[in-house]
Chain A
């Protein structure tokens, strides 16, 4: 398997929050959505995903509840909270600023 590029540090939380703006999702669904949306470039390691979800829960940016899936199985669905939405805005703008800054640096060179 060719090595996939690592996620930029600190961006995983933002990606999860963004994914959840569309609809509530379970952990596997979140991983899948990120992979698909990034056209298979970004892979979320399970080892980082679940600790990250616990972190977001603790911060109060997402809520979790057990629901049935389409295949009638029990799964934990994560929903974005109002605070989470606000946080996403903060992270997005920070991220944009950074990308713009990096872009400027790279252009000059």
Chain B
């Protein structure tokens, strides 16, 4: 039988292709373009090979902000994941308080990034802010615009306030989905609360926790707005994370070549670490 050759169907894919091209491929290729060429304006480009990449990979500033970024992301994951899980475990499963709790928990997620930054900026001011003044009143010297430790404390606290809710909601959804029979069987088997958590709740939450960790990792690794509004990367450059460093390079210095190389390295780090997290957490599944 002769097969009719008709490739007209490819046209149906065109709109999607164009959309993907304009929102992903074209911008990405522009960045790639800048990262391997040198330009002095007038749309004139000169081949520069891997120069910018080498420069970025040997750049002390990049190393410093990458280190800060890893410490920050590590810290907030260590705080937000267990805290979110703990809050979800304490929330009621049924009754009128369920919706009250859910709304209260979801509120921080509804606040725009820059507003979160401004809120904490004002609240943490040592002379007029509730938090800042309160801490100083306890006798602790606190000033987030001057002391790196105060600044870090504020940035981490702000992120925990803003994003723990996401972990709570994901874990809560996972917990509610566990059938009652599991808890009943555990009671009959004489399991203590810790065993219920360790052998029923935690395994059943594995998938939502993986998602929560991945989302929190990616978001916190790209954090920009809240920090720029709160501390602007300071004092000095003690809270200058990767995205702040990148923006300063690209827009502040107009070093488009190194900035483009920076972006690509940044992107690859996120991609690699996400893959690593995912593979590690799903390793058991494959067995």
Q: Do A and B belong to a common assembly?
A: no
List the interface of chain B (C-beta within 8 A of A).
none
